Amino acid sequence: MKPILEVTDLSKSFKKFKAVDKLSFTIEQGAVYGFLGQNGAGKSTTMRMLLGLIFPDSGTIAINGYKFNNSRRFLLKNIGAVIERPDLYGYLSGWDNLRMFATLSGMSIPNKRIHEVLEIVGLKGREKDKVKAYSQGMKQRLGIAIAMVHDPDLLILDEPTNGLDPQGIAEIRALVISLSRDHNKTILISSHLLYEIEQIATNMLIIHKGKKLSDGPVSQLFNPDETLIEIELQPEENIKTVVENSQWYGKSVRISPSKLVFKMNPSFTPDLNRWLVNQNVNVLNINSRHSFEAYFLSITNDTATTDRAI
């Protein structure tokens, strides 16, 4: 895959405060790049520099091989962005909002493209309704439609699920996955909801105090031995005693009558399952997942407890 975005030694200070410190990363075509960090880590400053809203003190930004500072107007045509809640005109319809922003982009965008984008974001059939009647989730999807109406190579989504209800969050999650998988869009997305990012990101970039701490494919960031194996049981009151007297107790994280959680390499799961069956324990479901929250907190110098990781 070719690199869409290349950031090299990017730095930005506000008086004596170093917001971003020699940050470098590369995003390849088609990736969903999770951009994470605690409040004040430098995420928003970085995104504003990528959009040309503020200028770096040093370093370079290149899209498709072209340095940002050398051809700003051209490069902005290749970026679409939603920064938290989009600014929309409530008294206009979804169609009129999209048509107006398409005109403001300075590019000739046919009505066919507007119809296409409305269908992609799931607003076909509601495009004639006034935006003030839209749910917050619909407004957010319209904002994404505006960001991508000119067919950019890179989408930047800053906290796109902020303030949404569970249904709205699920809709944005499904849309991001579809944009990457079905429409080959490259996406840089930030969020404070670690679980949501974990479900959609192919790559992770974690920064802390303006510096890069971790960067790479999700599959390579985690130690397999730190995988959480969650086992749902038919309620078994004596399960704690059964586990405590077994070889598996040292790998246990949580024990309750209806759920067991172990931290271990997934390759041990078949053996664990067979052992439970031999103990006459009725297993209903087994899931494995990385303890991403624990990983995130550990590298940002916070203490992760077992309960928080789950």
Q: Is 80 exceeded by the pLDDT of residue 85?
A: no
Q: What is the pTM for the complete model shown?
A: 0.78
Q: How close are the terminal C-alpha atoms of the chain, in Å?
A: 34
Report domain extents, the chain: 3-217, 224-290
Q: Is 90 exceeded by the pLDDT of residue 131?
A: yes
pLDDT band of residue 283 (cuts 50, 70, 90) is: very high
Give the Cα separation of 144 and 81 in Å (integer): 7
The fold for domain 3-217 equals Rossmann fold (3.40.50)
Question: Other C-beta atoms within 10 Å of 145: how many?
Answer: 28
CA 172 from chain centre, in angstroms, equals 10
Give the Cα separation of 85 and 6 in Å (integer): 26
Give the Cα separation of 201 and 208 in Å (integer): 19
Q: What is the pLDDT of residue 242?
A: 94
CA distances 101 to 89, 142, 231, 243, Å, are 11, 11, 50, 61
- In this structure, are strands 154-158 and 283-290 parallel, antiparallel, or unpaired? unpaired
Q: Are 180 and 4 in contact (CB under 8 A)?
A: no
Q: Is 90 exceeded by the pLDDT of residue 146?
A: yes
Q: What confidence tens digit (pLDDT) does each residue in 214-259 have?
A: 898 887 777 778 788 999 999 999 999 999 999 999 999 899 999 9
Rounded percentage of the chain residues whose pLDDT exceeds 90: 65
Q: Is 50 exceeded by the pLDDT of residue 308?
A: no
pLDDT band of residue 301 (cuts 50, 70, 90) is: low
CATH second-level architecture of 224-290? Answer: 2-Layer Sandwich (3.30)
Q: Is 70 exceeded by the pLDDT of residue 70?
A: no
**Contacts of 174 by beta carbon, 8 Å cutoff, 6+ apart:** none
- Token pair of 211, please? 């510096």
CA 59 from chain centre, in angstroms, equals 25
Give the Cα separation of 227 and 6 in Å (integer): 32
Q: What is the pLDDT of residue 303?
A: 35
Question: How much helix, strand and coil, in percent to the nearest 5, is found in the chain?
Answer: 40, 30, 35
Q: Are 185 and 145 in contact (CB under 8 A)?
A: no
Task: Pick the more confident residue, 203 or 192.
Answer: 203
Residues β-bridged to residue 35: 190, 205
Rounded percentage of the chain residues whose pLDDT exceeds 70: 95
- Nearest CA-CA partner of 202 in 8, 87, 81, 31: 31
Name the residue with tokens 């995104």. Answer: 47
Q: Within 13 Å and on the Cβ side, how many CA atoms surround 220?
A: 8
- Nearest CA-CA partner of 200 in 6, 84, 31, 2: 31
Q: What is the pLDDT of residue 309?
A: 30
Q: What is the mean pLDDT of residues 276-286?
A: 94
